[in-house]
Amino acid sequence: MKNILITGGTSGVGFAIAQSLAGPRTHLIIVGRNQSKGLSAIDALGPNTAFVSADLSTAAGLTILTDFVKSNVDHLDALVLSAGVMPIDQDQNIQTNLVSHFNVVTGLKPLLTGGKILLVTGNPQAVQRMPICEMQNTQVARAGWLLTHKTLLMVYLAATLEDQNITVNSFFPGDVHSDLMPYTRSLTKTAVPVGKYLLTEPSLASATGTFFDDQGQVVPLNPRKYSLAEATKVLSQYLPI
């Protein structure tokens, strides 16, 4: 039995990945804030699925999740970080789209030895081209901030979790039907096969610190822009690293 935790697994990208992984040999734990969405999701996913209602941007929500996971499984094979919002301001962007991911990983790291972490990011060209900039005064600036800073987080976690044999990668899911914003509600694509591919493809078993597109192809990242030194310098403004 594989134990897989998907934050944001109650809708959109996270739910699509949960659907692709659900089955008799998978124990899925999905997380979201909205109780009724979570209960509908586990109904649709079938047996071996648990829902945790927690706001991961808060200390209380983080404790609810880590307590639940630690009392229900002795290890995690994979952690998919798909919880996210279209932020209305800088604080929400920092707390929900960056700090919460770091805190979930920190809280569950002991259970992840030998496992895989996947971070959902966004459009490859935007990740490659957007500058790393701390200004978040417009929606476009906040979107650029979240893509670049999540990529820096992937680079930082991949390097610092290597000694625990935990791989950390990020990927673009494609343009997927979701609750994120009016535009994504109008999309028709409801499958995200790249999530399962990155978790199960044998040739990628030891890949880490890599960004993939929605076809599972490696997207090259500028090694100076997305270096461990840059990640540590930039992220230390927001995270206790």
Ligand X SMILES: NC(=O)c1ccc[n+]([C@@H]2O[C@H](COP(=O)([O-])OP(=O)(O)OC[C@H]3O[C@@H](n4cnc5c(N)ncnc54)[C@H](OP(=O)(O)O)[C@@H]3O)[C@@H](O)[C@H]2O)c1
The two structure tokens encoding residue 196: 């399962």
Longest dimension (CA), the chain: 47
- Residue placing its CB nearer to ligand X in the complex, 141 or 227: 141
- Residue placing its CB nearer to ligand X in the complex, 17 or 166: 17
- Residue placing its CB nearer to ligand X in the complex, 54 or 73: 54
- Residue placing its CB nearer to ligand X in the complex, 36 or 71: 36
- Which class for 227: exposed (0-12), middle (13-18), buried (19 or more C-beta within 10 A)? middle
Instruction: Name the residue whose CB lies closest to ligand X.
Output: 12
Secondary structure of 207-219 in HEC code, one letter for each residue: CCCCEECCCCCEC
Among 92, 101, 143, smallest CA distance to 122 is for 143
Smallest gap from residue 167 Cβ to ligand X (A): 20
Judged by the rule CB under 6 A, the positions of this chain that interact with ligand X are: 7-8, 10-14, 31-34, 37, 54-57, 82-85, 96, 120, 122, 173, 175-176, 178-180, 184
- Residue placing its CB nearer to ligand X in the complex, 190 or 237: 190
First to last CA, the chain: 34
For residue 10, the one-letter residue type is T
Smallest gap from residue 160 Cβ to ligand X (A): 22
Look-up: residue for tokens 């997380």? 31
Smallest gap from residue 33 Cβ to ligand X (A): 4
Smallest gap from residue 211 Cβ to ligand X (A): 13
Spatial contact of 27 and 5, defined as CB atoms under 8 Å apart:
no
